[in-house]
Amino acid sequence: MNFICSKQKLQEGISIVTKAITGKTTMPILEGIYIEANDEGLTLIGSDMDVSIETKVEATVTTAGKIVLDARLFGEIIRKLPNSDVKIEIADNDLIQVTCEKSVFNLVYMNPSDYPMLPTINEDLKVEVPQNLLKNMIKGTSFAIAQDEVRPILQGILFEVKDKQLNLVALDGYRLAIRNELLDIDNDIEVVIPGKTLNEVSKILEDNSDLVEITFTSNHILFNLKTTKVISRLLEGKFVNYNSLLPQEHKLIVNVKKQELQNGIERASLMAKDGNSNLIKLDVQEDILIITSNSQLGKVREEVAISLQGEGVQIAFNSRYLLDVLKSMEEDEIVMEMTSGITPCVIKGKNMNNSKYLVLPVRLVR
Amino acid sequence: MNFICSKQKLQEGISIVTKAITGKTTMPILEGIYIEANDEGLTLIGSDMDVSIETKVEATVTTAGKIVLDARLFGEIIRKLPNSDVKIEIADNDLIQVTCEKSVFNLVYMNPSDYPMLPTINEDLKVEVPQNLLKNMIKGTSFAIAQDEVRPILQGILFEVKDKQLNLVALDGYRLAIRNELLDIDNDIEVVIPGKTLNEVSKILEDNSDLVEITFTSNHILFNLKTTKVISRLLEGKFVNYNSLLPQEHKLIVNVKKQELQNGIERASLMAKDGNSNLIKLDVQEDILIITSNSQLGKVREEVAISLQGEGVQIAFNSRYLLDVLKSMEEDEIVMEMTSGITPCVIKGKNMNNSKYLVLPVRLVR
């Protein structure tokens, strides 16, 4: 193997594939980056078996070849090199030599034939989604993924296409997040993608409307961007029937400015930390919502201006669940639909219809 | 107690005094901020007994008084309040009430009479130093303070005034850092200030030439800035006679660009991490300095252009000690004075005479 490429581009490529290298596997070779050089340039791969990322890097290749290099060390070396051309070639004694200006590194490498094959994806069930739209949808749902492993399916996000609408859904038993967008897709799809895959994908997605092509097999999903591919296994099993969790009706509607509500809850939750499960109480009145909380250190009362349709209610929440929802919402004005102090609260944007959140209240012991 | 002050100014004051609240004491009251309100506004104090910081905050005081409030909670509350006036007053039930726009907090407070008195500083041995100059001198020496507690005196920085020159000196057995400046000071002074005090002082010092007034007693030092005072105990005992550690002569001088040397050492040290004590070798030749290092992962060779007076030498270092020195130096061109591979290396700026560093080599086993 012998090639020359720009330090900058190589660094970018390493940075992308390293996102899949989690160190959570017992296979030492997966701590490495697989590098293949041929006529078309370089292919870099990083993987932890669950998720694999492959990206292309421009390079002038003199001799084709394959190696696997320790990702952390190789990444640090390339990052610290001067901004110039980097030459990489096989040297004597099973070492590769990395040369850049007056720096010469000789590194041991791992055997590329030990590197696991990526799953082959050649089905023709494909959809295309604008990158920025998918990125927003992931951001708007991924916080609600279950953190514990009690129900593995809830560690994923439901990716559902139905009636030309794409729905992303996550829930963890305390809250539910739904984002949807109309898309010109004919097939119906229902798969559950591991949350950590989508978090890595969202870091690679750009903030523009370029399309990302998504291909499905029964076990895997492939996100195809211009020069980068992300392949992930899918979660097995059926997702929760989330529609059945949504209340069919509500008795009151609160209109409120998102940022004011968020600020009030953030301050109130300062008093709700000490062994207090982040408990805050909301007293919904005609024109105001009063947030209170107390602990052995003192108490707090916050007032937020609202407009209410329906009768007032008293309801308590884990402030973190409400804050997660508010922080992930893009609209300035939001709507909360409630029925009583013991039934779920639905939160939506006031003007847009592409997000819906549900948060369970905390039942207070009288 | 009853006063009104701006959220912004109160937050700044809390941020300053909190630097002295380290939580490393067993007295719960020292987790609090002492607040005294009187005709002149507010006085805030934070302390861990070793270091105390006192600052003034403008306020409209209706009723004078004193309280002590939990620093972490009070700090977070003030930080999260809207940018407006904050009213603080004693409420019922041993609570203070903090009101800002529509937020009302009631907090328990601690008894101010339990708060330890600050030491009285009324000696008249005073010096004045421009803030930016002192800040630079601290930055240029504090990295060399001993981290272990084997010789407590080395956890401090020597603050020495002699022949109208101020010297700051720190050393830890492997390296020595000296910064000096000519100052119009008549008295001779020799005290050792705890390193952590100076680190906190340097955070408060501003980047301008306003003077900071420094007062000494036999046990304490007081830094007097415009609205803030820092009082610290001094370390007991005599500092090392650092002049005796400096070599009287040298056999070779290396002139080198600081950043090029630093970059080369940083890259070389990437191969010197794994159980290798950061060992790098320097081969000083006529026009170049070659840095090498190796580990089980591979090896590296870096070339740095130099100009050499004298014969070449081979010498090995702990790369961290060299990097600490280079990072703390302000000059672009530096000079290294050496005699052999087993004698100390002195590093200075090429054009300025206000800093001098010494690093011990690592003796290689043949």
Full DSSP string of B124-179: -EEEEEEHHHHHHHHHTTGGGS-SSSSSGGGGEEEEEEETTEEEEEEE-SSEEEEE
- How many beta carbons lie within 10 A of that of residue B319, not counting itself? 24
Q: What pLDDT is attached to residue A181?
A: 95
Token pair 């050089």 is found at: A37
- Nearest alpha carbon to residue B268 among A75, A94, A84, A77: A77
Q: Cα angle at A321 between B71 and A243, to 5 degrees? A: 180
- Nearest alpha carbon to residue A117 among A220, A22, A199: A220
Residue of chain A nearest B273, judged by CA positions: A73
Residue of chain B nearest A109, judged by CA positions: B297
- Nearest alpha carbon to residue B259 among B323, B169, B200: B323
Q: What pLDDT is attached to residue A366?
A: 57
Q: What pLDDT is attached to residue A276?
A: 65
DSSP A198: H
Does residue A215 contact residue A126 with C-beta atoms inside 8 Å? Answer: yes
Q: At what angle do helices B7-18 and B71-80 cross, to 10 degrees?
A: 150
Q: Which residues of B touch A106 (CB under 8 A)?
A: 298-300
Structure tokens at B152: 């407590």
DSSP B296: T
Q: Which of B80, B107, B301 sits opposite A298 (nearest CB)?
A: B107
CA distance A359 to B357: 61
User: Which of A79, A101, A103 has the most B C-beta neighbours within 10 Å, making it the best mutation to test the interface with B?
Assistant: A103
Q: What pLDDT is attached to residue B285?
A: 96
Q: Which helix (H) or strand (E) holds A51?
A: strand A51-57
Does residue A268 contact residue A319 with C-beta atoms inside 8 Å? Answer: yes
Query: By the CB < 8 Å criterion, does A304 face chain B?
Result: yes
Q: Which helix (H) or strand (E) holds A25?
A: none
> Where does residue B177 rank: exposed (0-12), middle (13-18), buried (19+ CB within 10 A)?
buried
> Does the distance separating the beta carbons of B104 and A263 come in below 8 Å?
no
Is residue B304's pLDDT more than 90?
yes
- Nearest alpha carbon to residue A250 among A306, A305, A292, A313: A313
State pLDDT tens for residues B118-166. 888 877 788 999 999 999 999 999 999 998 888 999 999 999 999 999 9
Q: What pLDDT is attached to residue A270?
A: 94
Is residue B275's pLDDT more than 70?
no
Q: At what angle do helices B131-139 and B195-204 cross, to 10 degrees?
A: 140
Query: By the CB < 8 Å criterion, does A23 face chain B?
Result: no
B231 CA to chain A: closest CA distance, Å? 30
Report, as ranges of residue numbers, the positions in chain A whose pLDDT lies below 50: none
Q: Looking at chain A from residue 62 to 121, which residues have their Cβ under 8 Å from any Cβ of chain B?
A: 70, 73, 76-77, 80-82, 95, 102-108
Query: By the CB < 8 Å criterion, does B245 face chain A?
Result: no
CA distance A229 to A197: 12
For residue A255, the cross-strand partners are A307, A335
CA distance A322 to A328: 10
Token pair 């920025």 is found at: A132
Q: Which residues of B touch A104 (CB under 8 A)?
A: 300-302
The one-letter code for the residue type at B358 is L
Query: By the CB < 8 Å criterion, does A264 face chain B?
Result: yes
Is residue B274's pLDDT more than 70?
no
Q: What pLDDT is attached to residue B218?
A: 86
B308 CA to chain A: closest CA distance, Å? 19
A264 CA to chain B: closest CA distance, Å? 8
User: Which of B7, B98, B270, B287 has the most A C-beta neighbours within 10 Å, making it the best mutation to test the interface with A?
Assistant: B270
Residue of chain A nearest B274, judged by CA positions: A73
Query: By the CB < 8 Å criterion, does B298 face chain A?
Result: yes
State pLDDT tens for residues B204-241. 999 999 999 999 988 999 999 989 999 999 999 999 99
Query: By the CB < 8 Å criterion, does B36 face chain A?
Result: no
| Residues above pLDDT 90, as percent of chain B | 86
Is residue B273's pLDDT more than 90?
no
3-state SS class at A43: strand
Residue of chain A nearest B72, judged by CA positions: A270
Query: By the CB < 8 Å criterion, does B200 face chain A?
Result: no
B157 CA to chain A: closest CA distance, Å? 33
B328 alpha carbon, distance to own chain's centre? 12
- CB within 8 A of B191, min separation 6: which ones? B158, B159, B216, B221, B234
State pLDDT tens for residues B43-62. 999 999 999 999 999 999 99
Q: What pLDDT is attached to residue A121?
A: 83
Q: What pLDDT is attached to residue A155?
A: 95
Residue count (chain B): 366
3-state SS class at A71: helix
> Does the distance separating the beta carbons of A80 and B301 come in below 8 Å?
no
Q: Which helix (H) or strand (E) holds A296?
A: none
Q: How far is CA A63 from CA A2, A58, A66, A105, in A?
A: 5, 15, 10, 19
CA distance A183 to A211: 12
Query: By the CB < 8 Å criterion, does B299 face chain A?
Result: yes
Q: Which of A95, A266, A298 sits opposite B80 (nearest CB)?
A: A266
Q: How far is CA A181 from CA A133, A207, A256, A260, in A?
A: 8, 17, 24, 27
> Does the distance separating the beta carbons of A270 and B298 come in below 8 Å?
no
Q: What pLDDT is attached to residue B148?
A: 85
B265 CA to chain A: closest CA distance, Å? 11
Q: Which residues of B touch A105 (CB under 8 A)?
A: 267, 271, 298-300
Entry pTM: 0.90
User: For B349-359, what is the mean pLDDT?
Assistant: 95
Q: Which residues of A touch B303 (CB under 8 A)?
A: 102-103
A100 CA to chain B: closest CA distance, Å? 10
Q: pLDDT band at B276, cuts 50/70/90?
A: low
Q: What pLDDT is attached to residue A274?
A: 67
Q: What pLDDT is attached to residue A211?
A: 95
DSSP A260: H
Contacts of B244-248 with C-beta under 8 Å, sequence gap 24+, read B245/B171, B245/B176, B245/B344, B245/B358, B246/B176, B246/B346, B246/B356, B246/B358, B247/B337, B247/B339, B247/B343, B247/B344, B247/B346, B247/B358
3-state SS class at A245: helix
Look at strands B85-90 and A103-108 and give their pairing.
unpaired
DSSP B16: H
Does residue B2 contact residue B64 with C-beta atoms inside 8 Å? Answer: no
Does residue A177 contact residue A328 with C-beta atoms inside 8 Å? Answer: yes
